[in-house]
Structures are given as C-alpha cells and as structure tokens.
Structure 1
Amino acid sequence: MEEEPTAGTSGAAEERPAPPGNAAGEAVPAGGSASADEAAAPQTPERKASARKASARKAPAEKSAPAGKAPAAGRPLVAPGKATAALKGAPVKSVVEPAKGESRIALVRRARRINRELAEVFPYAHPELDFENPFQLLVATVLSAQTTDLRVNQTTPALFAQYPTPEDLAAADPEEVEEILRPCGFFRAKTRSVMGLSKVLAEDFGGEVPGRLEDLVKLPGVGRKTAFVVLGNAFGRPGITVDTHFQRLVRRWRWTDETDPDKIEAAVGALFPKSDWTDLSHHVIWHGRRICHARKPACGACPIAPLCPAYGEGETDPEKARKLLKYEKGGLPGQRLKPPQAYLDAGGRPAPPLRAG
C-alpha cells in the first residue's frame, strides 16, 4: 500500500490544482478577480491597451513598497545589511574601552583581592633591612640601592657600632666609611650620601630624622621611595614604596601601564585605601623577591595565579615552579606558602587565571 504524499513533498504522483486562468490560457494574478464575462471576452486591441495602462499605474507602487508595508515618505529604502551603517558625514560616537578590557571597578576589586591573598601568604611581611631607630633605617635604605638587603644587613652593624648617631657619621673620616661600605657596591657615592644626610640631620634637624615627606626628600641621596620606607616603617605613616620589584609586578598585573615611579605611585595608590599602602608595598615586594621573579616567575606555584593576567609567562608546572621559589632555600621563619596542590584544579592542572575583563 502506497503512502499518500505529504504536504511539502515533491512526489510525481502529487497533483496540484491548476492556477486560475482566462479563456486564452493566461494566468490571473493571485488575489485578482476575473468574472466569467471577462474571461470569455476576446482580447481586442483596445482591451489590451487598457490593460497595459492599468499595469503601468500599478508598477511603481509594487516596485518600491515592501510587501505589507508602505514606504515612508521621503525616505529611501536601505538594504538590510546596510541599515545600521553610519551615514557619511554623521558624527560617530566614540566608546573608550577600559585598559585591557577591564572596567575600573573590576580592576579595583581584583587588585584588592590580590593584596588580601598576599597578606595570607606573607602575614609577617616587613622591611627586610635590620634597624633599631629611624636613623638606622634611613641609612640602610640609602645603602640598599643596587644591592641586596642581605648585603646591607651584613654591613650596617659595623657602621652603626662605630657611628651610632648622625653627628658621629657626619664627622667621620670618609676613607674609613668607604672601607666599611665597600661590600655594598658604589661605596664612594654611598659614603657621600650617608655622610651628607647625617650632616644635614645634625645641623638642621637637631640630629633627628624628620617625619615629613617634604623634609626627607631634601636630604642627600633620599628620594620618594626611601622617604616612604622611612615614613611607613619608622613613623607609621602610609606610603607606597616603588622599587624595581613593585614596578615590575604592578605592570605585570596590569594595575597600571606607567613606567615613571611617581606616576606608578599615584596610579596604584588610587586603587587602595591610604591605610593599606605600607603593607601593600611589603606584600608586593616580598612576592616579587620570592615567587614572581623578573626572568623566571614561578607561575605554577603562585598563590594569585587565577587573578594574574600574565599567568604563563613563567614556569606553569607545579613541581618545576616550586623549585624556583627562592625564599624556601633558607628563608625567614614565619612565612606561609600553600603547597602548589592548593592551586590545582580537579584535573591536577594549575587553576586557570581570571583574565582581565
């Protein structure tokens, strides 16, 4: 038993009704009405001419108006693909995209979350220069330029034992000071700086380190970075320390694209409450020294990998990355670092970073 053709099929057995036509076999347009008399009437020349005139009157409307909708008066029809194209000469509204596709609010939230995560990893982050008073911190910070804090800590005990006050250091023999500071590198320039600032402290500030930024930056060899180290850690006044580690990491995290230290300080400071600035500096610097190195960052063992847009610039294998963690080789006590497994997904891979935006 054969099945009947269904609607929409094109079987040969399907019979379709013939379109209505006139006596001459010409089809009548759909929707048109033709009476029996008109169908039977012969097509005289006069009738054909009349039909042509009627067709000409209908043609413009049928050609310009879309089906079911009359064209708007005075407005040209536009192809669908060009309907949203900007007209030539019309003002174009420009939309300024946030840097790296991340909104300001998202950037602030991500930056503060990174700081909170680092605070858990480095709860005891502090200046790694040994000091007992503001004067010792000021001198040690000046000496730390172009050398390590460890080297400075090995050098300053002998310096402060022989010259404990600004007055003592200002009156010292430069050659003797140079010999003490030789292990720190650039010892002649550093000798001039520490003796020069000691002289200014003794003569202008009664032998005391001032607690104001505008006074500190007037001392020989003291810039904003050194001043903020002293203010934040000796006087408890918030400040951002923009050293080489800080500069590298905040650009790597896309907190800012600035390269000038003063502009970096302003840009990053705007992301955090002022009360967070000093601890933020410690967290970033500690992370830069121990995990997020300049050449081989330990991405696979990084506690903030999911928040870092630069994830993957370094070693992503957890075990290999763990070997790059410098401070695990004889680091200071009290440092807490979660094992790499804490940052792995269910498949044993590092959790994917949350890209900016």
Structure 2
Amino acid sequence: MVRLKRETIVAQIGNKKCEKTGAVNMPIYLSTAYRHEDIGRSTGFDYTRTGNPTRDALQEALAVLEDGYQAFATSSGMSAIQLVFEKFQTGDHIISIQDIYGGSFRLFQQMEAKYQIAFSYWDGNVIDDLTELIRPESKALFIETPSNPLMRELNLAELAQFAKEHRLLFIVDNTFYTPVFQRPLAQGADIVIHSATKYLGGHNDVLAGAVIVKDPSLAAFYEETLNAIGCVLAPFDCWLLIRGLKTLYLRMKQHQENAQAVAAFLEGHPLVQQVLYPGKGGMISFYIQDERLVSPLLRTLKLFTFAESLGGVESLITYPATQTHADIPKKVRDSYGLTNQLVRLSVGIEAKQDLINDLSQGFSKVEAEVGIG
C-alpha cells in the first residue's frame, strides 16, 4: 500500500475507528471502566488511565507524524517533560541548551534541589564546547530548536551524532516547529517532546503534552511509567487535540506565511534593533530599541493580544522577562541575551496586512507617547 502523506493522515485521524456506528469523527470515550467478559478476557481496555480508545487514536497519529514507534499523550507540556525525566535518578547529569522555556528551567532547578540530578547549560553556539560539559555520569542532552525565545536553530544531525558518541539520550522539544517543519527522530533524536497546548492543538483551548519515542524499550519504559504516575490526557482533551491536528498543515502554512511578512516589516522599522526569526514557523522575537517602549506597545496593540502562550490561530505578544521566563534570574537571562528589550510574537493566521498595520500603528503611538525615535 502506498504510504499516505501526513496531510492526509491528520485529516483522517479517528475516521473508521468505530466499526459499529461508522462514525467519521472520533468518538469521545468518557468511560473510566470497561467490562470484562470473564477472568483474563478483556476488550483490550480495562481502566482509562491505562488505555482509552480516544487517546489511542491520538497517540497513533502522533507517532506517525513524528516518525516514532510510540507516542504518549499527557496532561500538559510540563507533564510530558516530567514523564521523560522519570528515566533519570539521583546522581545523573543532564546537558541542556541554555535558551529554553522558563518552565523547563524551573523544573530542572527543582530536580537539582530535590533529587540531586545535575544540569549543565550549553550556549548553543559551538558543538565542540559540549565536550567540556560531559561527565562520567552524563545521561542526556536536552534541546529546543528553534530555542525559546532567542529562536536559535540547531543542527539536529550533528547533535545526534554527538549524543550517540557519548551514549546520551538525545531529547528534543519540537513545540515551535512541529512535525510539519522538523522531525527530530528522523534526524537521530531518541525522544521528542511537545507542549501540545500550542501548535498541535492550535486553538488556545486545550492543555496537553506529547512524548514520542522511536525505541521499543524506551516505549515500554514510558508506557509503564505513565500508567504508574497517571498524568494522561483526558478523553475530551484528546478529542480537542485530534480536532486541532486535522488542520495542522493548513495552519502552519499560514502561520509561516504571516510570520515571514511580519518579520520583514520588523526588519525595516527604526524602533526595532534586531529581529530573531529563523525563516520558518510562526514564532518571532525582536529587540526593541528601549525597554521603556515595551509597556506602551503592549497597551496600544489591537490585534496582538498580550498573553504568554503561543501557537494558536490568534496572534499573541509575550514579554519573556515578566512572563514565560520570569523564573530565570535576570543575571542569567542577560548573560545569554534574554534582556528586558526582548519581545516575542506568536503570529496567528489572520490577514497578514492587518497584523502589520496593527504593529505599525502601535509603534507610531509609542514613539509619539514616549518620545524615543
């Protein structure tokens, strides 16, 4: 049989899963318990934490999209990261890129304090510098690419080779690019993580996470662990995520088209010092000329909503210093470029000229109000 394109796979998630009714839309199985006909005779479903038909349909699709062996849908992006790090124990050492989501940094700090799992941070510039961070107890390399919020794009194949040479699990947070633009497992990663709340869901209406692995032994470990700790995604949220995934390819195309246009506008604006955009996806960061301009800009924008999420159809503007990365000490943030002048945009699927006009009028009002030009 000819392998289906991913655009087809996402549009068809859940179809033909209910033979009895022929439902085209994946049913939501809310039942927490499942009847057994006799001892040792099960339908394959026993208790919803262990297995649920709606969640199974979602996980099957996630595994295919990311070229994985098995996927796990979790209750949030952070619970996905927590699940992955259940693999490690006291005394282990993890190398992480410095420029990561503030919630990840916060969790890593807690792991260091509570469980004595050590973390070292790499600036993301020169791969050879990673060698200096390796210890006998090093177990994994964790990255986001593009990084958050400095939008640094990393070479997955080179990092995968480094991880293999040093017997490290290679873990990649693929939230920003999604499998539409990047499939880390195909380039050598061992584990992919998503905050599925973001682009995979796509509508700012579901809290979810995903873990996808390519090795059967890792899959067995995480299947057992997820059942034990129980941070599974609820059936209705699985259904919302399925619904979002059906339009993933359409949405990402528009996100990217809009972001490219917005980035080009920002590049030419005198109040913008530098634009950080890797050329793909819908996320843009930029340094504004003076941090005194940030608050007035946030107040004057009409279409960009000041909020700290990303990946929805609506455009959002985020101030990492006080929102997504507030838990990272200012001295640390400043050391790698996450300064108080940095602003992050999640460019939605609205008409791109409307978004550009909104930013233009916002900059004009700010310049008049603050008097900085």
TM-score, scaled to structure 1: 0.23
Larger Cα-atom Rg: 1
Indicate the structure with greater helix content: 1
Taking structure 2 as the reference length, the TM-score comes to 0.22
Answer 1 or 2: which has greater strand percent.
2
Of structures 1 and 2, the one with the larger relative CO (CA 8 A, separation 6+) is 2
